[in-house]
Chain A
Amino acid sequence: MYKNWWKILGAILVVYSTIWGFLSAVPALPILHESIRNLYFHVPMWFGMIVLFSISVFYSVKYLSSNDPEHDIKAVESINVGVVYGVLGIVTGAIWARFTWGQAWSFDVKQNFAAIALLLYFAYLVLRNAIDEEQKRAKISAIYNIFAFPIMVVLLFVLPRLADSLHPGNGGNPGFNAYDLDSRMRMVFYPACLGWILIGCWIYNVRFRVRKLEKNNTI
C-alpha cells in the first residue's frame, strides 16, 4: 500500500477532475463558452508528455553510463506512453480549435511545432525498428533520444515565443491565468494536471513491468 499511494492518488484526481470538470461552474467567456472545460484535458496531456519524455531522457543517460538493459526498456516505454499523450494532446487541441478558431488545424505555430516534436519521437521509434542487435539498438537510440531532447525543448518552449500564436499568452492574447483561470477553475485544473501525470507514470510503469516479464520468460 505504501508504495502504491501515488497510483490511487492519480486515479482519484483524474476521476475527480473529469466529473467536477463537467459539473462545476466556469466563467462565461465569449468564443470559448463551455469548451473552456477542455482546459482540464488538453493542457494536462502536454504536461504529462513532457514529464514522460524527461523520464525517458533520464533513463537514456543512465543507460549510457550503466549499459543496463532495464534502463533501455524504461526509456522506450516512457516514450511510447509520452507519444500517446502527445497524440491525445493534438487531438484534444484540434477539437478545441475546431469550435473556437473555426478550423481543426489552424496552422497555429504551437500546433505545428507540437506536430514536429512528435515527429522527432516517431523517428526515434523507427530508428529502434531499424536495428536488430539489442545492445546496439539500445545504445544508438539512447544517443538519439538525448540528442533530440534539447531540440524538442527549443521547438516547444523557445520558437513559439518568437511568433504570434492563437494560444492564450502569445501574440498579445492574455494568458489564461490573467483573466479566466479563476479560483474555481484552479481547483480542477491543478489536480487534473497532477492526476494525468501520475496516470501516465502508472501506465509507463505497468508497460515496463510487462516488458520485463516477457523478457525474463524468453530467456
Chain B
Amino acid sequence: MQLIKQVKYLVKKELVLEWRSKYALNGVLLYVVSTIFVCFLSFVGLSHPVTWNALFWIIMLFASLNAVAKSFLQESRGRQIYIYTIASPLALIISKTLYNILLMEVLTLIALFFYIVVFDYIPQDLGLYIVATILGSLSFSTIFTMISAIASKAGNGGMLMAILSFPVIIPVLIVLIKLTKNAIDGLDRSVSLDEIGLLLVINVLVGAVSLLLFPYLWRD
C-alpha cells in the first residue's frame, strides 16, 4: 500500500515537473519531427515499404534513447539523495518506468501520425501497426529506464548509455521490425501472435530483472 502511494506521488512529481517546463515532451517532439523532416527531404519519398518501416524504427530508436536517457541522467545528485531518503527504490524505478512509458506512448503515436502524413504511406494493417508501436515504445522505455539508471551511476552519460543499450535493444528491434513488416504486408493477425508474445515476454523479463536489481544500484 505504502509502495502504491509512493509510486503515485513520484509519478505525479514527474508529471508536474514536466508540465512546468514542458521541456522533455516539446524537445523530443521537435527532435522527432525535424528528424522525420530531414529524412523526408533527403529521401524524397520512399518507394519501398520495407525502407519506410526501417527508417521509422531507427528514428524512434534515437528519439526514445534521448527521451528516456534524461530520466536519471538529468537529476542532480542532491535531488537523488533527497528522493533516496523519502521513497523506496522500488517505488522510484516503478514510477520512472511508468512515466517513461506514458511519455513514450504519447510521443510515438504523435510521431507515427506525423510520419504517415509526411511520407504519405499507410500500412495495410494500420491497427496492428499501432499495436506494434505501442509495444515497441513500451519495451524501449522499460529497457532504457534501467540502462539510464546504470549509466547515470557510472557517471559519464550519453556515450555509455548508447554503448550499453544498443546490444540490449537489438533483439527487441528485430522482433519489432518483423512484426511491423507483417502489418505492412497485411498478413493475417494470427501470424503475428508469436512476435507479440515474445515482446511481452521480453518486457516482463526486463521488468522483473530491473525490479530485482535496482535496489542494489540505488544504494550508494
Contacts and interface: CB of A to CB of B under 8 A. Distances in A.
A159 B174 contact: yes
What's the interface size class on B, roughly?
A: 20 to 34
Contact of B154 (A119, A140, A154): A140
Contacts, number: 76
Contact of A143 (B150, B166, B206): B150
A9 interface: no
Contact of B198 (A120, A140, A144, A158): A158
B18 interface: no
B130 to A, nearest CB: 22
Contacts of B205: 150, 154
Given A116-B171, A154-B202, A127 B154 contact: yes
**Residue of A116, A117, A143, A148 ringed by the most chain B CB atoms within 10 A:** A143
B171 A143 contact: no
Interface of B is mostly: helix
A188 interface: no
Interface residues of A, number: 26
Interface in B151-165: 153-156, 160, 163-164
A51 interface: no
A151 B173 CA distance: 13
Contacts of A113: 171
Interface string B191-220: 000110010001001100110010011000
A146 to B, nearest CB: 6
Interface of B: 146-147, 150, 153-156, 160, 163-164, 166-168, 170-171, 174-175, 178, 194-195, 198, 202, 205-206, 209-210, 213, 216-217
A139 interface: yes
Given A120-B167, A154-B202, A147 B154 contact: no
B213 A131 contact: no
Contact of A140 (B153, B175, B202): B153
Contacts of A120: 167-168
Interface string A156-169: 00110010000000
Nearest to B219: A139
14 contacts: A119-B167, A119-B170, A130-B154, A130-B155, A130-B160, A143-B217, A144-B150, A147-B168, A148-B167, A150-B209, A154-B171, A155-B171, A159-B174, A162-B178
A126 interface: yes
A64 B216 contact: yes
B110 to A, nearest CB: 29
B167 A143 contact: no
Interface in A44-103: 64
A210 B146 CA distance: 34
**Residue of A116, A119, A151 ringed by the most chain B CB atoms within 10 A:** A151
